[in-house]
Amino acid sequence: MRIAIGSDHAGYQLKEEIKEFLKREGFGVEDCGVYDTQPVDYPDIAFRVAERVGRGEFERAILVCGTGMGMCMAADKVKGIRCAVCWDETSARFARTHNDANILALGARLIGAELAKNIVKVFLSTPFSGEERHQRRIKKIEEYERKIKR
């Protein structure tokens, strides 16, 4: 599985640690920025990553900012994206099994590197449950996306 990863300046250090972790785990990783700690606007990175996932270039992605919330809000504006902010392994598991999330958002100011790596591992290894109730709910989101103008 190839993974896109991106961060703003607040998430840069954690993104770098996660990127190296993913490489050690055997994942193909494409770093979509940022490449230093100079201040940037998180929507620019979130949109860049989310659009590539939305086009099918990557199956999953990871976004990192100070809280994870800004990146998540921006990424979820892109058609086909179901981004989830996760703060522990359980939230990552449910994001995948119930919501078929395709982007994980993490808050570098809220969680440490070891917890972040555990969350990433769970997010990437957990399949969508495929249960009818979850499929039905995701289908409603997709139908709504088709109705709104983008």
Active-site amino acid positions:
65, 98
Report which of 73, 65, 70, 50 is spatially closest to residue 4, judged by C-alpha positions: 50
Report which of 116, 109, 149 is spatially closest to residue 5, judged by C-alpha positions: 116
| DSSP-derived 3-state class of residue 125 | helix
* Cα–Cα distance measured from residue 147 to residue 150, given in angstroms and rounded to the nearest whole number: 9
